[in-house]
Structure 1
Amino acid sequence: MSGLKYKRVLIKLSGESLCEKGGSGIDSGAAKLTAEKIKEAVQAGSDIAVVIGGGNLLRGAALSLSSDMIPRDTADYMGMLATVINGSALCEALKSVNVPAAVLSALPVKALNEEFTSAAAEMHFQAGEVVILSGGTGCPFFSTDTCAALRACQIRADLIVKATKVDGVYTEDPIKNPDAELIEKISFSEIISNDLKVIDHTAMTLCRENNIPLRVLNMFKKGNIIKAVQGERVGTEISA
């Protein structure tokens, strides 16, 4: 497709993209809808990688805070395993809409996926497959946002798309303040200095130091994902 600006794109998804709104677990209809949106980016001509969270199943940090029995590192590993489950579900959803995909994991499960390496990811890109990156970073105390930024560096992504169910970054919470304004463009430094809750500061530092722009958008609004990979104005652009 003409007009392609970003050849390799990493899409950061929340685990909630696999369940019904306000729900939990994995819903086949929601998973298929998410797969269809990823398919649009594939059809635009980009190499697509996906980092998916595990919040629909378990949030490691929250589990640790709510329990005096489970330490933070154990809870984080449990959360990473939730992303392994979600990665497998998303892979099957993509195959159901005729998009070839493979799962690479920092915590490999032999029956479901293979271990992540940059070389393995490149091999799957060359085979025309969507590369799903699960298992987080493989280490506790890091968020899936940081995983997305790290993997984007490792696979030499040109863009990170943080796919949400809102239109981008606002001056204030648009739910609490209907007069909040959408920010079309902002720097990583401004995000940090204004303490805007977009992605964690470790992830932003990695993006800034490696000059990888990030775009926050509503993935489920028709045409948004194609606009993003073509470099058109959509959502909020965050760059150095």
Structure 2
Amino acid sequence: MRVVVRVGGSVIASPPDPQLIIRYARLLERLRREGHTLVVVVGGGSLARDFIDLARSMGLSEQDQDSLAIAVSRIFASLLGRALGELHSEPIPNSINQVSHSLHQEKIVTMGGLRPGMTTDTVAAMVAERIKADLLVKATDQEGVYTQDPDKHRDAEKIDTLSFEELWGFFEEEKHRAGIHQVLDPEALRILERTRTRTVVVNGFEPENVRLAIEGKKVGTLIQ
């Protein structure tokens, strides 16, 4: 199976969690040896936001702020890659075209952001489109997609299955937007809907949830 794994910075980088990075590396190694083709897109989390705040306080442009955040995400991609050792494809891609080239090495590709103004969710969706992925797994700090932001609304309910069209319906309802925005970027959703890429949003603090999603087990929220 060709799989894009989007690991949120909120999971491994807020604050940086070396043991969780190692657990992801071991999981990815097993999945690769089982024959799966893997591209992992990593976010920069709170550390990236710290650099954005620092750059803003210095009067730097939004493009400069984004560039620094991208650099942080690529550092975490490199950390994960180094934990993978010989199964990791070098160098870290800085374009979608490079991803396709890196996959020819039959190793695991890790990457961060690509250019200012583009979220790592969108990067993951674009990669999924380019490699014709069978599945995109979004490992985040929530159990899945909720009717409302579960951090703010105690009555928020997790949704087990959604269509892309139903997810757009949540975007259109102001009272639901906060929770949805935290788990999937709207531009990424446009790409995933167009390509009909099956997507599963899972709790990323348990790396085994990624395996469960790949195996088609009931976990997180399935979007298709």
Unaligned runs of 5+ in 1: 1-6, 108-114
CA distance 1:44–1:173, shift in 2 (3 Å) = farther
- CA RMSD in angstroms, aligned pairs only: 2.6
Corresponding residue of 1:148 = 124
Q: C-alpha distance in 1, partners of 2:208/2:100?
A: 32
Query: Alignment partner of 2:202: what SS?
Result: strand
How many residue pairs match? The answer is 214
Name which of 129, 132, 141 aligns with 2:110.
132
Q: C-alpha distance in 1, partners of 2:146/2:17?
A: 29
Name which of 212, 218, 225 aligns with 2:203.
218
User: Displaced runs of 4+ in structure 1, greater than 4 A?
Assistant: none
Name which of 66, 73, 78 aligns with 1:76.
66
On the 8 A contact 1:168/1:235 being kept in 2, the answer is yes
On the 8 A contact 1:52/1:83 being kept in 2, the answer is yes
- Give 1:213's aligned amino acid: R
Say if 2:5 is the partner of 1:11: yes
On the 8 A contact 1:11/1:160 being kept in 2, the answer is yes
Unaligned runs of 5+ in 2: 172-179
On the 8 A contact 2:139/2:201 being kept in 1, the answer is yes
Give the C-alpha shift of residue 162 in structure 1.
0.3
Corresponding residue of 2:177 = none
Name which of 173, 178, 189 aligns with 2:154.
178
Name which of 90, 102, 110 aligns with 2:89.
102
- Give 1:147's aligned amino acid: V
Listed one character per residue, the Cα deviations across residues 53-72 of structure 1 (whole Å, up to 9, x for unaligned) are 11243139953894471111
Q: C-alpha distance in 1, partners of 2:46/2:31?
A: 24
Q: C-alpha distance in 2, partners of 1:207/1:155?
A: 13
Identify, as 1 or 2, the structure richer in helix: 2
Identical-residue share of aligned pairs (%): 30
Query: Alignment partner of 1:161: what SS?
Result: strand
The 5 Å alignment of 1:1-240 reads 7-19=1-13, 23=15, 26-59=16-49, 62-63=52-53, 66-67=56-57, 69-95=59-85, 100-103=87-90, 104-106=92-94, 117-125=98-106, 129-134=107-112, 136-137=113-114, 139-195=115-171, 196-197=180-181, 198-221=183-206, 223-239=208-224
Report the TM-score when normalising by structure 1.
Answer: 0.78
- Give 1:167's aligned amino acid: E
Report the TM-score when normalising by structure 2.
Answer: 0.83
Listed one character per residue, the Cα deviations across residues 148-205 of structure 1 (whole Å, up to 9, x for unaligned) are 1111111221111001232111112223333322101112222223122221111100
- Give 1:156's aligned amino acid: K
